[in-house]
């Protein structure tokens, strides 16, 4: 059909071109027979006419090639030079007719494509519930593995950030114990002092051996120290055994044979130390750490609580007790312990950081934010604390503050991929798509196959109107997680933006099949079908969406449009009304409601809705025009005149001006 029309247009153009040349020849011949004094004028006219004919020929070539706008631009120039050029005016009409026919052909082709895509999608074998469940299980396993890996990375980062502070706290505690021990030794006799100092030297040798991973040397030194413990000095013996137990605890990896042996030594010596000197806190602390590592939460709590009771001024014991409470999901108790630690040592930044994390778990976001900010006040380069500040600010929709916080985190830890991803997400939420694009590019350089980051990049590319690139990233995300409905939905958006209607329909249908409660893909499918005249298919999709979210603005607005297309005016009125219940000041929906009321014959209601539309949007010319027509239909000629005259006065170029003038002439 499209090719036949084109042939007809070309044929007409050829006839017109021939007629133009014949007319030009007659004109030139007639002028050549005139008086000699007119030869100069004739030459000038002939040159002007030749230029005109050349322009007309170029216009017809553009017309034949379907370059309608270029043809119209040239013909408008001819008509500006000579408004009475009948040939040019006639050709302009032909171009406009051809342009309309081409638009109809294009629309028909697109509608056919939508119909084909809908038919193919309907015939495509949908995934069974078992297949969807299997895919989802596999992806959930992958997701959990990724989350666990990220959690380990974050825990390691937190541990590294706290390492220096914890090391200093341990050193300070060790120094305090040694000072107390020295004071006790100083009160002993010289002979006893010599014995005690010899034991201390052996303990120091054993610790040095542990630092060198010389476990046999350490064991020999510690055994010798134990043999030389002065008889009757249980307090000193308990202190030494507690010190050696804690030294064994910190030696080696608990997952290796040597590490397991070291842990067993730590437990045995700590228990013996408690028997020798029950009122000291250190062996309880050592046992608490061992039980914590073994996830024996109740035993860990009991030992750490006892350590804190025996030494209530130790912020370290309170801090580690808080960590055990947190790990066992006892967040209220954890909060109390971390608050104790911060009151005992306000400059201990790990306690502030962990207090912030606990308060987040308790849903106290503002207090958590304050705690994280105290942490970075104490330690300005505390990268993980800056990241947590950013996360809370995102939840509070303070994207500017979040972006600043994530940038701070990256300033102090440039390799933090988590902060990089979340920076991009915050920038995207702030509509700074160019910056988000840069952040996600850096994140993808480290993890090119990460589904979430590819999904986020697709959203950003759509925001930047880089639709082809968006499609590539959306496809990567959807392929990486084929049972993720959100990824399939975004793939549909990218296909639609890239004018791949087949792909859009298939992706939206898949998203809808993956999540029976997912409204958006159903709404978008309905919108596509409605745009191409498939009202029944559109209504089917939208009814599914309506059953899920009957109060949704998008659902009701689109259902109103479908029913209006079907001229089911009462249903259109109902759904436009429900849409307006959500967005009362939406002028477009209110105008459509007015039209639906008019279609239903409720002219008084239509009049009121038109007036409300104009209150919201005074320059809505269609509403003003249709209000005038409604007044005329209601017999209110005075208001009809006021509305239509106001329209013509305020917008003399309104496309419906001639109709408005015709109505006015009949009032």
pLDDT at 296 over 70: yes
Which is nearest to 585 in space by CA: 562, 553, 561, 607? 553
Q: Is the model's pLDDT at 430 over the cut of 90? A: yes
Separation of alpha carbons 538 and 546, rounded Å: 12
pLDDT-based confidence at 20, cuts 50/70/90?
A: very low
Residue 465 lies in a domain: no
Least confident span in 86-90, 274-278, 409-413, 421-425:
86-90
Minimum mean pLDDT range among 238-242, 350-354, 617-621 = 238-242
What pLDDT score was predicted for residue 109?
A: 58
pLDDT band, very low/low/confident/very high, at 2 (cuts 50, 70, 90): very low
pLDDT at 189 over 60: yes
Residue 395 has pLDDT above 60, yes or no: yes
Residue 73 domain flag: yes
Domain endpoint, select from 98, 123, 148? 123
Question: pLDDT at position 6, please?
Answer: 27
Does residue 200 carry a pLDDT above 50?
yes
* Token pair 């709590």: residue: 301
pLDDT of residue 9: 24
Lowest mean pLDDT among 66-75, 428-437, 443-452: 66-75
- 541 vs 529: CA distance, rounded Å: 9
Q: What is the pLDDT of residue 8?
A: 21
Query: What are the pLDDT digits (tens) for 481-499?
Result: 998 999 999 999 999 999 9
Would you tell me how many other CB atoms lie within 10 Å of the CB of residue 168?
11
Per the structure, the complete domain to which residue 629 belongs is given by 520-666
Highest mean pLDDT among 3-7, 8-12, 120-124: 120-124
Above 60 in pLDDT, residue 148?
no
**Contacts of 55 by beta carbon, 8 Å cutoff, 6+ apart:** 74, 77, 78
How far apart, in whole angstroms, are the C-alpha atoms of residue 109 and residue 231? Answer: 102
Closest CA to 388 of 411, 369, 404: 369
The pLDDT score that the predictor gives to residue 473 is: 97
* 346: number of Cβ within 10 Å: 14
Please report whether residue 576 resides in a domain.
Answer: yes
Q: How many CA atoms lie within 13 A of 615 on its CB side?
A: 9
| Sign of the dihedral through C-alpha 125, 129, 135, 139 | positive
Alpha-carbon span 177 to 187, nearest angstrom = 16
The two three-digit tokens of residue 208, written as one number: 């040095």
DSSP state of 426: H
Q: Is the pLDDT of residue 191 over 80?
A: no
pLDDT band at 152 (very low <50, low <70, confident <90, very high): low
Asked if pLDDT for residue 11 goes beyond 60, the answer is no
CB 44 within 8 A of CB 28: no
In the chain, the percentage of residues whose pLDDT exceeds 90 is 65
Using 50, 70 and 90 to split pLDDT, how confident is the model at 63? confident
Residue 48 located in a structural domain: yes
- Within 279-364, residue ranges assigned H as helices are 282-293, 297-310, 315-327, 331-344, 349-361
* Residue 161: inside a domain: no
Q: How many domains does the chain have?
A: 2
- Out of 67, 95, 123, pick the residue that ends a domain: 123
Does the pLDDT of residue 521 top 50, yes or no?
Answer: yes
Counting DSSP H helices and E strands in the chain, the numbers are 32, 0
pLDDT tens, position by position, 553-587: 999 999 999 999 999 999 999 999 999 999 999 99
pTM score, two decimals? 0.68
- What is the pLDDT, as a whole number, of residue 487? 96
> What CATH number is attached to the domain comprising 528?
1.25.40.10
- Is the pLDDT assigned to residue 4 strictly greater than 80? no
Task: Check residue 363 and report its DSSP letter.
Answer: T
288: in domain: no
Confidence of residue 32 (pLDDT cuts 50, 70, 90): very low
CA atoms of 465 and 467, how far apart (whole Å): 5
Above 70 in pLDDT, residue 420? yes
User: Residue range 92-114: average pLDDT?
Assistant: 69
- Tell me the C-alpha distance between 312 and 308, whole Å: 5
Query: What is the per-residue pLDDT across 219-233, written as a single tens digit (0 to 9) for each?
Result: 999 999 999 999 888
Last residue of a domain, one of 123, 145, 174: 123
Across all residues in the chain, what is the average pLDDT? 84
Most confident of 62-71, 192-201, 243-252: 243-252
Cβ-Cβ contacts under 8 Å for 180 (sequence gap 6 or more): none
Between these two residues, 188 and 255, which has the higher pLDDT value? 255
Highest mean pLDDT among 60-64, 102-106, 432-436: 432-436
Phi, psi (deg, nearest 5) at residue 420: -65, -45
Q: 127: which DSSP letter?
A: P
Neighbours of 195 (CB within 10 A): 19
Average pLDDT for 504-530 = 95
Note every long-range contact of 305-312, with CB atoms under 8 Å and residues 24 or more positions apart, other chains counting. Answer: 306/281, 307/281, 307/282, 308/281, 308/340, 310/279, 310/280, 310/281, 310/284, 311/281
Structural contact between residues 591 and 559, judged by C-beta atoms closer than 8 angstroms: no
- In this predicted structure, the answer to whether residue 648 has a pLDDT above a threshold of 70 is yes
Residue 24: the pLDDT is: 31
Residue with tokens 């930044």: 349
DSSP run (H or E) holding 165: helix 129-186
Residues 588-622 have pLDDT tens digits of: 999 999 999 999 999 999 999 999 999 999 999 99
């Amino acid at each position: 059909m499209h090719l036949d029309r084109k042939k007809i247009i070309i044929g007409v153009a050829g006839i017109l071109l021939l007629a133009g040349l014949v007319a030009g020849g007659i004109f030139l011949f007639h002028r050549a027979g005139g008086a000699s004094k007119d030869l100069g004028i004739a030459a000038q006219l002939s040159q002007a006419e030749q230029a005109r004919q050349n322009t007309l020929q170029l216009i017809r070539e553009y017309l034949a090639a379907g370059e309608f706008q270029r043809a119209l631009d040239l013909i408008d120039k001819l008509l500006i030079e000579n408004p009475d050029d009948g040939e040019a005016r006639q050709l302009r009409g032909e171009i406009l007719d051809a342009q309309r026919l081409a638009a109809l052909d294009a629309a028909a082709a697109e509608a056919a494509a939508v119909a084909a895509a809908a038919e193919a999608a309907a015939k495509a074998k949908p995934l069974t519930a078992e297949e969807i469940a299997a895919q989802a299980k596999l992806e959930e396993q992958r997701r959990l593995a990724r989350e666990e890996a990220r959690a380990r990375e974050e825990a390691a980062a937190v541990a590294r950030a706290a390492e220096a502070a914890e090391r200093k706290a341990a050193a300070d505690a060790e120094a305090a114990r040694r000072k107390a021990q020295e004071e006790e030794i100083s009160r002993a006799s010289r002979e006893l002092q010599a014995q005690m100092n010899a034991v201390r030297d052996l303990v120091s040798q054993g610790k040095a051996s542990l630092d060198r991973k010389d476990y046999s040397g350490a064991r020999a030194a510690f055994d010798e120290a134990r043999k030389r413990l002065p008889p009757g000095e249980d307090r000193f013996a308990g202190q030494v055994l507690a010190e050696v137990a804690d030294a064994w605890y910190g030696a080696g990896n608990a997952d290796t044979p040597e590490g397991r042996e070291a842990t067993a030594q730590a437990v045995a010596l700590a228990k013996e130390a408690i028997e020798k000197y029950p009122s000291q806190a250190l062996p309880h602390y050592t046992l608490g750490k061992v039980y914590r590592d073994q996830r024996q939460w109740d035993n860990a709590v009991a030992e750490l609580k006892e350590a804190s009771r025996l030494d209530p001024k130790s912020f370290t014991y309170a801090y580690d007790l808080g960590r055990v409470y947190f790990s066992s999901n006892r967040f209220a108790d954890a909060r109390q312990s971390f608050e104790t630690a911060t009151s005992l040592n306000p400059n201990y930044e790990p306690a502030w950081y962990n207090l912030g994390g606990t308060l987040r778990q308790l849903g106290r976001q503002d207090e958590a934010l304050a705690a994280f900010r105290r942490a970075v006040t104490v330690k300005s380069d505390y990268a993980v604390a800056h990241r947590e500040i950013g996360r809370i600010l995102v939840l509070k929709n303070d994207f500017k503050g979040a972006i600043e916080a994530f940038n701070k985190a990256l300033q102090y830890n440039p390799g933090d991929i988590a902060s990089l991803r979340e920076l991009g997400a915050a920038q995207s939420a702030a509509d700074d798509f160019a910056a988000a694009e840069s952040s996600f590019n850096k994140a993808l350089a480290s993890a090119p196959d990460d589904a979430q980051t590819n999904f986020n990049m697709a959203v950003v590319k759509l925001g930047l109107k880089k639709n082809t690139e968006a499609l590539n990233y959306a496809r990567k995300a959807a392929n990486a997680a084929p049972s993720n409905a959100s990824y399939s939905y975004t793939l549909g958006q990218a296909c639609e933006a890239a004018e791949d209607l087949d792909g859009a329909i298939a992706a939206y249908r898949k998203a809808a099949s993956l999540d029976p409660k997912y409204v958006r893909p159903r709404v978008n499918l309905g919108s596509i079908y409605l745009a191409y005249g498939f009202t029944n298919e559109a209504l089917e999709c939208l009814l599914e969406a309506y059953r899920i979210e009957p109060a949704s603005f998008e659902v009701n607005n689109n259902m109103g449009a479908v029913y209006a297309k079907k001229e089911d005016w009462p249903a259109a009125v109902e759904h436009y009304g429900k849409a307006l219940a959500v967005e009362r000041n939406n002028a477009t929906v209110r105008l459509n409601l007015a039209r639906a009321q008019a279609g239903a014959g409720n002219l008084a209601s239509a009049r009121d809705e038109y007036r409300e539309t104009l209150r919201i949007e005074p320059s809505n010319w269609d509403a003003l025009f249709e209000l005038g027509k409604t007044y005329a239909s209601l017999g209110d000629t005075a208001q009809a005149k006021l509305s239509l005259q106001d329209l013509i006065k305020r917008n003399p170029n309104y496309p419906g001006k001639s109709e408005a003038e015709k109505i006015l002439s009949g009032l």
